[in-house]
Amino acid sequence: MSTNRFKPTSWQWLLVLVAATAMLAIASFSGNKTLSDGDRVQYLSERFACPVCDGQSVSESNAAVATTIRGFIAAEVNKGSTDTEIRDELIDAYGTSVLMTPPSDGAAVLVWILPVAVLVFGMVGIAEAARRGKIKAATATSEDFDLVAEAQQARSPSES
């Protein structure tokens, strides 16, 4: 009686990895809750970069332009503007460099997809090479043992 066991191929593993990544992304972006105006101002201030500071958010910076942007965000939130409207106004005024995270549309989507794609294809390549037997553990030969013995003899002083 032969056992015909299912052995997944690299493409099937890739499909599982893509599905798991998609579920993780959906889970991390879902669950929006309503924020108070103060929390929303803080949230938005953390999402925009100070135009004159290096890597600091508007919320962290004490620069005059960061204070101005925080004031703008607070005024817009009090007026009832949506997050998208506030984002668009700040991008119009300062460009996309004001975003703490790169946009996820157009060519900028490569910033998000390329590292994941490289990781996935690298893992698939390593798995495929290991499956084909191209990656094997080295085994010591008698020549290796002779070299080690010679090195040990040369290193230790002879006792006579």
pLDDT digits (tens, 9 = 90+) for 14-56: 788 888 888 877 776 655 567 788 888 899 999 998 888 888 8
CA angle 110, 95, 85 (to 5 degrees): 95
- Helix, strand, coil shares of the chain, percent, nearest 5, are 65, 0, 35
**0.75 surpassed by pTM:** no
- Residue among 122, 109, 114, 112 nearest 13 (CA): 122
CB atoms within 10 A of CB 112: 15
**pLDDT tens digit sequence for 111-140:** 778 888 899 999 988 888 877 776 666 788
CA angle 136, 139, 143 (to 5 degrees): 140
**In the chain, domain spans:** 34-101, 103-135
CATH 1.10.8.640 fits 34-101, yes or no: yes
